[in-house]
Chains A and B, each alone.
Chain A
Amino acid sequence: MSVVETILVFVVVPGAVVGIMAALIWGPGTDRGPRYRPGRDWPYEPVWYAPHPLAVQDLTHEDPQPRRPELTAGSPDTPAEQSGLAHTAAGGARGTW
């Protein structure tokens, strides 16, 4: 084997293979968004998504104005009271991770 052949086989070919591998691994990652990592700060604006308006038809014939509860529970300076909006929450759950 001549010097040129040796360089081709032992340097250029492995280099090309490594280059293709690297392109496959890191190439598509450029358009991928930043991954969420638990415990890190969340430096984004708050977003609030609602479903498409046509997806929710008016299936319940409710009074549009939510009624205030007759008995107010808790301290008067809860956020719902501050905002002047009636308290509409009735249940749910919470979780931490």
Chain B
Amino acid sequence: MTTTKLTPANASGGSARPPTESSTGVRSTPFTLKQLERLDEALTMASRETGINFSLYVGRLRGDTRATAEGMHPAMGAKAANGVLLAVDPGQRVLEIVTGRNSVKRLPDRSCALAALSMTAAFGSGDLVGGIVNGLRMLSDQAGHPQRFR
């Protein structure tokens, strides 16, 4: 898993700063090593099985969360058309799934809504990583294999 330090700066118009530091000191990553391994495996397997570039953003979505997430989507570069961005804002309790021009053909809005429902149910009970992993699995199952391997 590559951790790109892309910030939604170009999306929100300003520089994205880390949120307010907690009294215990701000941690660079909210996940433990084991959780990161689960996320890495889910992201990589979902992308490998489907050929769709899944990427996951966890952090603050400023302003209009939908517009911010859609503004972040082109930052995937050449893979954006075939990419799916999962943007999770645990602070505001918002999840945004953004599909590109090609990936939307394999992941229609209805499938994304079903995955979003499953993910938010897990998030609501405090299981952030489990919700993300299950959502990625649902999305990759829905998208299926790329046509080359059929």
Contacts and interface: CB of A to CB of B under 8 A. Distances in A.
Contact of A41 (B6, B19, B43): B19
Contacts of A33: 30-32, 35
Contacts, number: 245
A96 B39 contact: no
Contacts of B54: 51
Contact of A97 (B48, B74, B121): B121
- B contact face: mostly helix, strand, loop, or mixed: mixed
Contacts of B103: 90
B64 to A, nearest CB: 8
B43 to A, nearest CB: 5
From A33, A90, A94, A95, residue with most partner B Cβ within 10 Å = A95
B6 A48 contact: yes
Interface string B95-109: 111111111100111
Given A80-B11, A88-B74, A44 B59 contact: yes
A42 B27 CA distance: 11
A51 B2 CA distance: 6
A3 B44 CA distance: 65
A97 B94 CA distance: 7
A28 interface: no
A16 interface: no
A76 interface: no
Interface in B50-68: 51-60, 63-68
Contacts of A89: 69-70, 73-74, 98-100
Interface of B: 1-8, 10-13, 16, 18-22, 26-32, 35, 39-40, 43-48, 51-60, 63-71, 73-85, 89-91, 93-104, 107-109, 112-113, 115-117, 119-121, 123-128, 146, 148
Interface of A: 31-39, 41-53, 55-57, 59-60, 62, 64, 66, 78-80, 82-97
